[in-house]
Amino acid sequence: MKVTLLIGGYVFDEVVQKGKMILDMYAKTILEADKRGHEIAVVAGGGKLARNYINLAKSLGASKSILDDVGILCTRVNAYLLISALGDRAYPYPPITYRDYVSAFLTGKIVVCGGMNPGQSTDAVAALISEYIGSDLMIKTTSTDGIYDKHPSEKGAKLIPRITYSQARRIIAEYSYDPGTYQLIDPIALKILERSNIPCRIVHGKDPKNILKAINGQDIGTLVCGELC
């Protein structure tokens, strides 16, 4: 199976706060999936590192384009951390274009990238990579268990185990969220996944083993897919 894995910034925030153990666990899990014969493409989010530097650059008068560049560079720093943890099985550096990513992926190495172009979230990057390489599944790890019918901090909020692209779009339009807290999925990424009918499973990033559960088709988190999935 070809799988695109988006590791949300939440995971890298945990590394900064608690040490490298969770990143080592992610690397071990990705290598286990690789050993089982799955082809894994990886995208790293920016997390608080990106937000902190973007806010600092903004306070210094940086333009929006430069703010985008700052965020992209931070995601690539996080990508290098995971590349280091993966060792020899990893492609040695994060590609900076989609063409370069596909070429690197064809080497058989585990390729990790960060952001690509200004104005694109890493959600959108992961969705586009999924299209380019023909992924069977995109997995996004976040700081919650998946998509809820309303903000999970609200009383009575319920996890939605399965949702269509159109239903997810309505929820995204209705409920805003703060970066690093309640992460849904970027609407542009959603459109990309929908047009190519690529399912996306959103799982909590606290346990890297959730990745293997998602690959194995276990009912975990929220599955975003078409009407007939």
Q: Taking the chain (229 residues) in consecutive chunks of 10 residues, what is each chunk's mean pLDDT? A: 95 90 96 98 95 95 93 97 97 98 98 94 96 97 87 82 90 58 75 96 94 96 85
Tokens of 82: 């995971």
Q: What are the Cα distances from residue 164, in Å, to 15, 197, 222, 226, 229? A: 33, 11, 10, 5, 9
Please give the pLDDT value at position 43.
98
Please give the pLDDT value at position 180.
36
The overall pTM is greater than 0.85: yes
Tell the residue number behind the tokens 């210094």, with chain if given. 60
Q: Rounded distance, CA 127 to CA 190, Å? A: 8
Please give the pLDDT value at position 219.
93
The domains of the chain, with CATH numbers, are: 2-225 (3.40.1160.10)
